[in-house]
């Protein structure tokens, strides 16, 4: 990461990690993708069944490929036939480990995620015994209100550009608070604290990842 952006991210990450740990999350800061991949794989026990939701940040550090190539049981929705994908997504809710990302984090240690189908949110709230969250420092907002705003007005419209559908944000790039069938803002989850302690583990990367 170039300076001074790298220094800025590192200093903010120190505050964020401290605040996440005060809320009973596990949290680790890694300066780059390579160290983040190493740490994430350390958090997944050998032989574990591992599923994931939409997690562009995890893909960008190579975590899915690492799981597929490692001593794990991958529950891989990308490898499933289209008609089998909903079933595989439900199997992920019973995995030993679930990999996901964050649409936004507040500097005081709260996570915001927004979803169309809710599979990621279900897993985070009450699913696998271990959740591994990969997130870049670009997802960190100063306050919870800013984090919710980022999820609604930045992450969701940017994510929508990957899909061919007719929501207003896909056309204009701006949230219109729509109710359409293709809306990807149907559920919003704010995770304030971790219970049981240590169930949710953050690998925070000092680079821009995801959307």
Lookup: tokens for 3: 């300076």
pLDDT classification of 73: cutoffs 50, 70, 90: very high
Average pLDDT of span 16-34: 98
pLDDT band at residue 162, thresholds of 50, 70 and 90? confident
Percentage helix, strand, coil for the chain under 3-state DSSP, each rounded to 5: 40, 20, 35
- Domain-located, residue 210: no
pLDDT band for position 39 (50/70/90)?
very high
Query: Does 211 map to a domain?
Result: no
Q: Which residues pair with 26 in a beta bridge?
A: 201
Angle formed at CA 77 by CA 65 and CA 84, multiple of 5 degrees? 155
In a domain, 174, yes or no: yes
pLDDT in tens, 101-116: 999 999 999 999 999 9
Three-state secondary-structure class, residue 28: strand
What's the total number of domains in the chain? 1
Provide the pLDDT for residue 54: 85
Asked if residue 173 belongs to a domain, the reply is yes
Q: What is the CATH number of the domain that holds 135?
A: 3.40.50.10420
Residue 1 has pLDDT above 90, yes or no: no
Residue 93 lies in a domain: yes
What is the mean predicted confidence (pLDDT) over 12-39?
98
Per the structure block, which two tokens stand in for 201? 């583990």
* Domain of residue 38, residue span: 5-205
């Amino acid at each position: 990461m170039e300076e001074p952006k790298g220094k800025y991210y590192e200093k903010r990450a120190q505050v964020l990690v401290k605040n996440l740990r005060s809320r009973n999350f596990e949290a680790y800061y890694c300066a780059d993708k390579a160290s983040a991949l190493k740490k994430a794989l350390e958090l997944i026990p050998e032989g574990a069944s591992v599923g994931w939701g939409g997690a562009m940040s995890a893909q960008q550090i190579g975590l899915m490929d690492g799981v597929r190539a490692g001593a794990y049981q991958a529950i891989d929705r990308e490898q499933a036939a289209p008609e089998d994908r909903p079933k595989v997504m439900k199997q992920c809710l019973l995995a030993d480990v679930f990999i996901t990302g964050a649409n936004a984090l507040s500097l005081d240690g709260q996570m915001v995620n927004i979803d169309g189908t809710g599979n990621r949110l279900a897993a985070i709230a009450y699913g696998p015994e271990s959740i591994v969250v990969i997130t870049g420092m670009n997802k960190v907002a100063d306050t919870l209100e800013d984090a919710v705003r980022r999820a609604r007005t930045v992450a969701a419209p940017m994510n929508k550009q990957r899909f061919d559908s007719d929501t207003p944000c896909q056309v204009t790039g701006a949230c219109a608070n729509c109710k359409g069938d293709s809306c990807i803002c149907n559920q919003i989850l704010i995770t304030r604290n971790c219970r049981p302690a240590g169930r949710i583990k953050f690998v925070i990367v000092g680079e821009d990842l995801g959307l």
